[in-house]
Structure 1
């Protein structure tokens, strides 16, 4: 069984470096990606399709009417569970990230560097959360618990003083 990762995008054209995304994703095996376009008004959807066209393990779901991040995650989850035999499904919403310093490249690099940890995910490492699908988890919450020191992760959980 594979692991899946859903990444939700909304108007992220300026932050996306498709060439870097493609390079990083091609280094990842046994992880299926679902890139969800949550009703972007820019060229985000076109960029996501470019990534999908270059990578065998990438699917794109286009949500045509803007939804909450969790509703967009659930749309991606429904697609992934229908298409693939997945054990676990992690998610990240790009719009909830602090990406000013590292951009989206930091996120995809974090996933690439930690693919073994993601593949060895243990649901018991996170608090049980009642969700539509019990095997969906926040990828960043999980990586924060297992990675000692990572600048990208640390930026995501900084408290505003």
Structure 2
């Protein structure tokens, strides 16, 4: 059984470095990634297709009518659970991140650098939350809870969320 990751995109064309994404994703062969395009009006969907064409472990879900982040995560989760035998499924929404300083490259680096921790996900690490699927978890919340994780990108996300 594999672990999957859903990443929600919405109008992120300007922030995407497809070559870097492809390079990093190719290092995560034990993870299944689902890139969800949440009704982008720019070329985000085309860039996601380029990434999928180069990476064997990437799927795309194209949401044609804009949905909330939670609804987009659920659309990705339904797809992933129907297509793959997954042990756990993490998610992250680009629009909820502070990508001003690190861009999307920071996110994909965090996933690549922490893939062993993601693969060894323990549900007890997070507070139990009622979700549509019991094995669905917030990727950044999980990585933040890991005591050995001192990643600047993750810490920056939480600093800014505390200030809001």
Residue matched to 1:49: 49
Gaps of 5+ in 1: none
What is the rounded CA distance, in whole Å, between the counterparts of 1:153 and 1:75 in structure 2? 25
Q: 2:68 is matched with which residue? A: 68
> How far does residue 150 in structure 1 lie from its aligned partner after superposition?
1.1
Output the CA distance in 2 between the equivalents of 1:14 and 1:142. Answer: 28
Secondary structure of the 2:108 match is helix
Q: Which runs of 5+ in 2 are unaligned?
A: none
2:115 corresponding residue in structure 1? 115
| TM-score, normalised via structure 2 length | 0.96
Alignment of 1:58-97 (within 5 A): 58-97=58-97
Q: 1:160 is matched with which residue: 153, 160, 163?
A: 163
Question: Offset at 1:82?
Answer: 0.3
The two structures, once aligned, show a CA RMSD in angstroms of: 0.8
Q: Which residue pairs with 2:151 in the alignment? A: 150
TM-score, normalised via structure 1 length: 0.98
Cα distance in structure 1, aligned partners of 2:50 and 2:149:
34
Q: In structure 2, what is the Cα distance between the partners aligned to 1:129 and 1:50? A: 35
**Pairwise CA distance, 1:124:** 0.8
Distance in 2 between the 1:3 and 1:70 partners?
19
